[in-house]
Structures are given as C-alpha cells and as structure tokens.
Structure 1
C-alpha cells in the first residue's frame, strides 16, 4: 500500500501482520489487499484486541482489523481499543464487499437449522433473511465469521449450533456444505478495515485522505458539542464519520470517534487540530492515511493551504510593521 509505514529501515526480517482470524475471515480478505504470505508473516488472532495488542507489544508490525460496516456502523471493540492504551495509528484502509454463506456439516438441511453461529455484525446484516427463511432460529455469537465455520469443521461432537454464517471462502476452506448462498439483507454491504501500526512516519498525503481522531468534550459545559464541531466547520473540514462512545468512568460521559476528510499535513486540518486542542480536554490523533475509495474532498474557497499561508504572512507583515514603528 502506497505510503504505508514499514518496519525499521534496514531491518532484514519480514514484516509481521496480525489480523482477526482464523483463516477465511473477511479480515483476511482485507489483509490480502495489502500483502501476502509470500511477502510477510501473517498471524491470525482470536479477537480484535489481541491483534492490536500484538502491535503495541512489538510482537507484530501491523494489525488488520474491521472498524466500520455500512449497515451496522462502527466496530466498537476496534474504536475503543484504539482510543485507550499506548498510542497506535491507522496507516491505511481497505474496503471489502460483504455477502454471507450459510453452511453446515454434511447431512444438515436448511429445515433443521435452529441455531446459527457467526459474528454479531454478520448476524445483524442477515436478520431479515433469517426471519424469512428460518423463523425462530437463534444466534450463537462467535468471535469471527470464520471461527464458527472452523468449529463446525473441527469435528467437535457438540459445537452448540447447527450452521454458520461465513464467507464463501470459509465454507470452501473448511469443507462445509453450503445450505444457502448470497445470504444478506443488503446486497451492497461493505466493511471497512484499517491497517494499524505503532506511531512513526506518517503516510504521505495523496489529496484523498482521512484523519481519524478521538475527542473528549469539556464536562458540564453547555454547547460543548457545538464548540467541538465548529472547529471543523470554520476550517472547511468535512466529517465522513462521527460516533459517540462512552468514556467508561461514569454515566453520561462520552468521547467522539471521528473521521475527517484531509491529512494532518494540510493547513486546514492542522488548524482544526489546534482549535480542538484549545477547547477539548483530550484529543487523540489516530492517523492520517489514504482513502480506499480515492475520493477527494471538496475544498471551499478560503481553506486551501495557500489561503492559510497568505493569512499568516499578512499578520506577520502587520507585526513586522508594528515592531518597526515601536523601534523608531
């Protein structure tokens, strides 16, 4: 991926990537957009937290984890893990279209399915289909879509469920029988994944970038949310995502996870961060990186880099002139 940070320069070993496993997950499909087993060591992890903590500890150079789904919104465990603990930054993103296959061990039929295992986000994307075709079937949560398929294929006598909702790749990989293909309420569903690293050299700006932040509001202050949002609006920075997350120390205290259009190298984004730092008690920078869709933001007049530089030079000329007058 262009602009992506790499392990220490001059380091001979292969880069190490942790990802939400096991093999066959949609996360693995996102990972393969970035690298392959020929280029790097790929380590499936049992959950998102484990994958991210392996980067924090230095046991992996990168992690690939889901962060947002077009149907269900943000992946809370990813948002919360990135927002706490030792700093991590997003250095890239990948988009994966998501459709599901209902699969089972040989001999199981669609009519007999009563318990279905899958990741909660996958279940949410298939509720209507399940109600229409398997009314009364219950959800058995799994750490990933592939984890349920792997357990079915493991030979465990009582896995606790009859079928799994997973990718077509998982069904083939684990040798399971397909009971229904193309299972989804929304055929256009997409999941967004991020490539995460420890802080270091940022990806170069491309003109089509995102900056991700976590921001706390000032406590018990009327208009605190408006004050925070004005820092973006007055600098012409559009938000492509904003979600509230509980801080966790008491009821009623929330942080905001934000994706803003633009790169921290750009003047309008820098000015926004300065404004946020002035009015918000906590601002956590979580990376500037290329957008997967390549979409460039609409920059309104007065917020181009040249506009900010010209304004600073004008103020500088005023100060310079004032100093000369004072010195006369």
Structure 2
C-alpha cells in the first residue's frame, strides 16, 4: 500500500502516515493529496483535519468537500514542538502557520524580535534552518541532527496539544463500520432555525455530535457547507434514520457520507 501526505520527510503528517503504510510519498498541499486519492493514484492519503489548540485545518475541510473520497480511519497524535537551529542567535523562525500559532506565547516571550516565516510544513521550516544559520525551525525534536540542535523542547502553548488526521481512501472503500461518522451537508438554503433543524435528527436519537463546523460554499456570500462528525456508525439504524431526516431537510442541496471509522492513537 502506498500513502501520500504532506512532505518533506519529518512532518507530523509523515509520522502519522507511518502507522498506515510503509511506502509514503509526498505532496506540498492538502488539496493535491485529496485529489490524488480521489483519482485513484494512491491507496491512502493522510491529511491533518483538526488541532486541539488552533482548531480545524480549513484546507482539509474544503478539499474533502470538493473531492469525493472516503474517510477510513482517524489518527490522533500528540504534537511536541521544538525549536531547532544551528546556533542560539536567530533572526527568523520558520514553520507551518499552525505550528507558529501553536507556539505564539513562547515566541513572543523568547524571540520577540524574530520575524516569523510561514512555510508549507514543519519539516520545510527545519530545512530552512539547515540551509540558513540565521533561521530556526519549529518541528518535531526527532528532526535534529549533527547540523541542528534543539534550542528548546515542548514549546507549544498547551501541553495537551494534539492533532487529528483523516486517513482517506478512494470513495468505493467507504465503510459503514466504525464508532464515528463524518458527513458533509450542503442545504442550499438559508432561513431562521435551519442549523437547529439540521442538528435535531441527531439529538432526537441520542447521537452525540463531536464536531460541527461551517465553511463557505463558494457559491455566494452567506452560503455555507456544514461538516458534521457524530459518535455513531453508519451501520446503526438510528444513524441511517437521522441522515434520512437530514436529506429531507437539505432536499435542495445534498448530504455526503464520508464514511464510518475508528480512532487510532499514535505516539512518537
């Protein structure tokens, strides 16, 4: 099995992907990854979807709404950020925008004069530190080596920092088995009480909603797509009945089942 995820080698996505496949290839954006899985080019794709500090990864949400794929597993991994550099005196700190945000308090306290550079991944930030002695990267401490030292470890603002990843597969592999289900709903409507109507079918059946988020549909201003995660499987009658009600409410739009799946915790 070949998996594709955010590169280069050493990203948190790469570390999560090792729990899925032995052979891993890289792309530079989440959208590229989702598109490659949807086309059948890869067996699996691993994309970050939510962080406990910074919230949802909006590019991932938009990509799974744009391309027809299945979610077959979620991986949750703790995030341990370290500051890596060739020397203690640095002028720039480079990393993924989410990592920079997750270490905001540390950077403001210890490197208030450093410029912050957002790059495509934490591993790319580490590469920048290898290329330029005036740059420090934020990434996993395991990315240090002879040319880079760990200036500080565990610099994230919250010790409970963790990221949730979706393991994606071609749509024909969508499963109804699993303890969680992800849905995307586009009601193509806007009126008072609409969101309440969309959520009531789950409340009435005692189905816990673990995440609800809206994203712009791109069709017009004020028009939204809703991402809904529930703690129930598609194999359950109560889930199927709730979705049937949802489809009636969203009859002008659509409801997409990304699939049911279980959670794997990966610690590195």
TM-score by length of 2: 0.92
Give, in whole Å, the separation in 1 of the partners of 2:41 and 2:188: 36
Give, in whole Å, the separation in 1 of the partners of 2:203 and 2:38: 34
Query: What's the CA shift string for 1:172-214, capped at 9, x where partnerless?
Result: 3x842222112111011110111100112444635xx111011
Which residue of structure 1 lines up, in the alignment, with residue 140 of structure 2? Answer: 167
Q: Give the unaligned 5+ runs of structure 1.
A: 1-14, 294-328
Which residue of structure 2 lines up, in the alignment, with residue 120 of structure 1? Answer: 97
Give, in whole Å, the separation in 2 of the partners of 1:138 and 1:249: 37
Cα deviation for residue 262 of structure 1 reads 0.8
Cα deviation for residue 274 of structure 1 reads 0.4
Could you tell me which of 169, 177, 183 is aligned with 1:197?
Answer: 169
C-alpha contact (below 8 Å) 1:205/1:289 kept by paired residues: yes
C-alpha contact (below 8 Å) 1:30/1:96 kept by paired residues: yes
C-alpha contact (below 8 Å) 1:52/1:63 kept by paired residues: yes
Which residue of structure 1 lines up, in the alignment, with residue 64 of structure 2? Answer: 82
Give the match's secondary structure for 2:64: helix
Give the match's secondary structure for 2:157: coil
Which residue of structure 2 lines up, in the alignment, with residue 183 of structure 1? Answer: 155
Could you tell me which of 162, 170, 183 is aligned with 1:213?
Answer: 183
Cα deviation for residue 246 of structure 1 reads 0.9
Alignment of 1:242-261 (within 5 A): 242-261=212-231
Alignment of 1:62-141 (within 5 A): 62-85=44-67, 87-105=68-86, 108-109=87-88, 112-141=89-118
Q: Which has the higher contact order (CA 8 A, sep 6+)?
A: 2
Could you say if the C-alpha distance between residues 129 and 152 of structure 1 is closer, same or farther in structure 2, counting changes exceeding 3 Å? closer
**Greater Rg, structure 1 or structure 2?**
1
C-alpha contact (below 8 Å) 1:22/1:146 kept by paired residues: yes
Give the match's secondary structure for 1:183: coil
Query: What's the CA shift string for 1:123-181, capped at 9, x where partnerless?
Result: 1110011111111323211111001112333x4x6x9x611111112223x84222211
The runs of 4+ residues in structure 1 deviating greater than 6 Å are: none
Q: Give the unaligned 5+ runs of structure 2.
A: none
1:51 aligns with 2:37: no
C-alpha contact (below 8 Å) 1:217/1:225 kept by paired residues: no
Cα deviation for residue 66 of structure 1 reads 0.6
C-alpha contact (below 8 Å) 2:91/2:113 kept by paired residues: yes
- Higher share in strand: 2
Give, in whole Å, the separation in 1 of the partners of 2:147 and 2:247: 53
C-alpha contact (below 8 Å) 1:203/1:290 kept by paired residues: no
Give the match's secondary structure for 2:154: strand
RMSD over aligned CA atoms reads 1.8
